[in-house]
Structure 1
Amino acid sequence: MRREPLLRWLPFAVMLIVAVIDLLAGPALGYLPLLALGPAFASLRCGVRGALLVGLIAIGLCAVLAAYDRVLGHRQNNLLLLSLAGVTLASALASAVRQQRERELADVRTVAEVAQKVLLRPVPRWAGPIRVAVSYISAAAEARIGGDLYEVVTSPLGVRILVGDVQGKGLEAVETAAAVLGAFREAAYDEPDLEGVIARLQTSLDRVLSGERFVTAVLAELSDTRISLMSCGHPLPLAIGADGDVRFVDFPEPAPPLGIRDLYDVKPQAREVAFAPGDQMLFYTDGVIEARDRDGRFYPLQDRAFLLTGKGAEQALEDLRADLVRHVGGPVADDAAMLLIRHR
């Protein structure tokens, strides 16, 4: 990062500026107390040894300038030298604490990256007759992990896809996402239909969810020219036809999210649509369509579907991701996951 070299040299630059000003001002005006800025700034970037070195330079420079100002040995100057020594020790201590926190943060990030790879492992680029591309934008870059989830499983029964969003954030959301993904990866191999897969997901969530927490999800099963979809309270998939037709895939009846026990008797209805060579379908989480610009306008996903045509799947999805970030004009407020499938 560009700011790191600046922070590294900032203490020396500040002390040099103070020394020049003091020399130009002459003995009449004393700027020596400003030398304490050097060791103070050193705690921002330097290690313990660096902070001590900057402090010693500040003390030595103060003694030289004090001799020039004809105040060396005076009571006030002696107190100033003691103050510089105290600031130096405080800077070294702050540097030690900062380095410890940086090591702890690095350890946490490493664990988070491993957990993210376990939960959201790379999806296959090719799955049966489709090309797959994935994009994930985390609202908390420090954590690098969130409640959005996706998976593509090639089973003896066909290619099955899951895209979901766990209500809430933090460790509870991660635990719930892990339960959903684990149940889906097993159920996708041996359940004869998507209804059975959803039932397995419900059973798994019964063990981990508490209160009013829930998970929205959309599931898909592909054949050569058809795709069967089931949605549990999730945003509608966006279908992009080879002929340029763009539409959201609606469902016969709205179904509740997974995990709401009072509505378990309301079953999601399957929707089957054509999926021929050249067709595409985009699955996404609500962080995409609920992303707002600075004027409060939502991201116009359907109007931006043209970005997904005329190029490779990964590049197309990367262009859409970049356009979403430009629309927001800053960090996204919520995690945003997108999974694009393209019939080859």
Structure 2
Amino acid sequence: MPKGSSTVWLWLTALIGAGLAALDLAMGPATSLIGLLLVCPMVASAQQGGRVTATVSAATLALAVGVSAAEHDLGRGDTPVRLLILAVASAYATGVARRSTRHQRQLKRIAAVAERAIIRPTDFRIAGLEVSARYRSAAPQAHIGGDLYAFANTPMGLRLLIGDVRGKGLSTVHLSAAAIGHFRDAAYTQPDLLDVVRELDGRLAGDLGPEDFITVLIAEVAPDHVRLVNCGHHPPLLVPGTGAPTLLVPPLSATPIGLGPAPVVHEAPLTDGDRLLFYTDGLAEARDRTGAMPDLRKVARLCAAADLEDALDTVLDAVDRHTGHTTAADDIALILLEAAPAPTQQPAPVPRQEQGAADPEAPSAVGQ
């Protein structure tokens, strides 16, 4: 739970306890409300961990004892029974909170393993191309994001997918894994990129809910050209060896996967030294304190670093500085590739199972 929300619930629990105690004292010894104080540990167990719930339970029990003592009712009537019930309920609430905390930690570990299995950093060289990819979740300690990427070394050339599943959480893991698996099947079997999109859209139809969709960009890359099919995704950034950077915007816009896309294939030439940056919302829509988003021309300059891996690390660091090192609002997936002369030795193919998943002036590195 976010820290702010947690604090609100703690204050609410304190107000409930204080209110019940004050009302009990105002009504006098004839009426006892201490039994109602068990609401406090129950509320705490639903929103807090075991340690906080235990603290709230102890404070609640002390408050009940104090109210009973103030009314000189501590050892009379059914007050001891009420206090015993409150103590048992508090112990139960603390146990529930501790079990819930352990369960959540286990889910987070499972989620982290699943995330690394679906999308992981990738660096390889193949057929006159050098490729590097990175993924960073907005909150890896809490949930898995919906960004995804994958590669397929097909007879038609190197094909890649980058996309963004609408929403967050464990449900996106299923959609991300399904999209990657269907893309890889279609990329190897369909010679036409448009058929790859059609098959991807058709296969995902049974997985997507009525409000679900996935923005995707599929590319077929050769050392001298790139062919692109864009379904509602951010256009890639061409960083030429010489000249100004260019966004490869499709001639016609298309809807995302799940919304009946009708994309077109468009092509751009590549020469030795040209680089292509594929990215998701986490880069394109990262905002600084004024709400300004990154200037992709400055991002292009960062992508011109000598080493692809260093270039991506530099871009991620610049995004952190641009946002003031605050918690990212979205995940970031990046693919940077370069058209390079073929190596003298035979390159190792991409295995079919390989897949992706404080200076105050520094924000100007990617800012407008």
User: When the two structures are superposed, what TM-score results if normalisation uses the length of structure 2?
Assistant: 0.65
The letter of the residue matching 1:283 is F
Per the alignment, residue 272 of structure 1 pairs with: 267
After superposition, give the CA deviation of every residue in 1:99-151 in whole Å (9 maximum; x if it has no partner): 64553333212211221133214535223322222222212232352111101
1:167 and 1:242, CA in 2 relative to 1: closer, same or farther beyond 3 A?
Answer: same
CA distance in 2, matches of 1:340, 1:208: 30
> SS of 1:125's equivalent?
strand
1:207 aligns with 2:206: yes
**Percent of aligned pairs with the same amino acid:** 37
Q: CA deviation at 1:92?
A: 9.8
Unaligned runs of 5+ in 2: 1-49, 56-87, 341-368
The letter of the residue matching 1:305 is A
Unaligned runs of 5+ in 1: 1-42, 52-88
Q: CA deviation at 1:304?
A: 2.4
Per the alignment, residue 162 of structure 2 pairs with: 163
- 1:54-93 aligned within 5 A: none
1:233 and 1:201, CA in 2 relative to 1: closer, same or farther beyond 3 A?
Answer: same
Is the 2:275–2:337 contact (alpha carbons within 8 Å) kept by the matching residues of 1? yes
1:224 aligns with 2:223: yes
CA distance in 2, matches of 1:137, 1:214: 21
1:335 aligns with 2:314: no
Is the 1:149–1:164 contact (alpha carbons within 8 Å) kept by the matching residues of 2? yes
> SS of 1:174's equivalent?
helix
- 1:224-303 aligned within 5 A: 224-261=223-260, 264=261, 267-303=262-298
CA distance in 2, matches of 1:93, 1:314: 52
After superposition, give the CA deviation of every residue in 1:296-339 in whole Å (9 maximum; x if it has no partner): 11122222211111321111100100100111110111112111
Higher helix share goes to which structure?
1
Q: CA deviation at 1:276?
A: 1.6
Number of residue pairs matched? 270
CA distance in 1, matches of 2:206, 2:226: 31
Is the 2:143–2:169 contact (alpha carbons within 8 Å) kept by the matching residues of 1? no
- 1:79-158 aligned within 5 A: 100-158=99-157
User: When the two structures are superposed, what TM-score results if normalisation uses the length of structure 1?
Assistant: 0.69
CA distance in 2, matches of 1:110, 1:331: 20
CA distance in 1, matches of 2:211, 2:160: 26
The letter of the residue matching 1:303 is K
Is the 1:128–1:154 contact (alpha carbons within 8 Å) kept by the matching residues of 2? no
After superposition, give the CA deviation of every residue in 1:212-260 in whole Å (9 maximum; x if it has no partner): 3211111110123111111001111000001142111111111111111
Per the alignment, residue 63 of structure 1 pairs with: none
CA distance in 1, matches of 2:128, 2:210: 41
CA distance in 1, matches of 2:309, 2:93: 45
Query: Which is bigger in relative contact order (C-alpha 8 A, separation at least 6)?
Result: 2
The letter of the residue matching 1:306 is R
1:316 and 1:244, CA in 2 relative to 1: closer, same or farther beyond 3 A?
Answer: farther
